[in-house]
Amino acid sequence: MLTFFKKYKFFAIVLVVLSAIIITVIYQIMKPKVMLKIYQPADVSTELVDTTLQYVKKYHTIANFSLTNQNGQTITQDDYKDKIYVADFFFTTCQTICPIMTGHMAEIQEKLKNDDEVLLLSHTVTPEIDTVAQLKKYALEKGVNDAKWNLVTGDKKEIYDLARKSYLAAKDVPFQDYDLIHTENFVLVDKKKRIRGFYDGTDPESIEKLLTDIKILEKED
């Protein structure tokens, strides 16, 4: 009996290894592909969504825009065509959450500096203060890479409409026209201009999840 097992020991080992490989391959084939959720206005807290969109359940995308960046260049949706990007809202004189958010955005910029598929976009909510010159000064202070990250200013109504009706990332200030409270949210946008995630821009763990989700989104596309 021992002689029999010795004789076929090699074949038994080969069979076990092949079986393990086959099982692994089958598992990988059968394993469901990880996909990020596509967010619609109806999925988001009503305080962050314009009343005209609160019941929209499909086909939501980021609206076209035309804004001006820290170098005085016009930035439109075309500059983000076929790109994944992370968007947020801030203002340069903010002393509370904005410095933390900007620091985390700079961290994302550094970690993805060699990833040409991903860009960053920060909108000021005080365009009357954040002129091109002010944004440039801020960009230099924060180490903004102009090829990767646009800080944009422009028409206040357009920016606020983007925050409320496109990115779903701001709260209204009652009884004040075109005024809002921006949130700490970073918004992940895919190559089809759809929202694929919201992340707390002040929370390091949330930033790590954002970086992980970006990799998932890149594989999806």
Does 60 show up as a binding residue in the annotation? no
Place of tokens 């010795």: 6
Task: Measure the N-to-C terminal CA separation of the chain; round to a whole number of Å.
Answer: 57
In three-state secondary structure terms, 148 is coil
CA dist 113 and 147 (Å) reads 10
Phi/psi for 14 (5° steps) reads: -60, -40
DSSP label at 180?
Answer: E
Task: For residue 169, give both structure tokens.
Answer: 């990332």
Place of tokens 């606020």: 160
Does 182 show up as a binding residue in the annotation? yes
The continuous run of DSSP H or E covering 89 comes out as strand 84-90
Identify whether the C-beta of residue 183 lies closer than 8 Å to the C-beta of residue 163.
no
Binding residue ranges: 94, 98, 182
- Known binding residues for Cu cation are 94, 98, 182
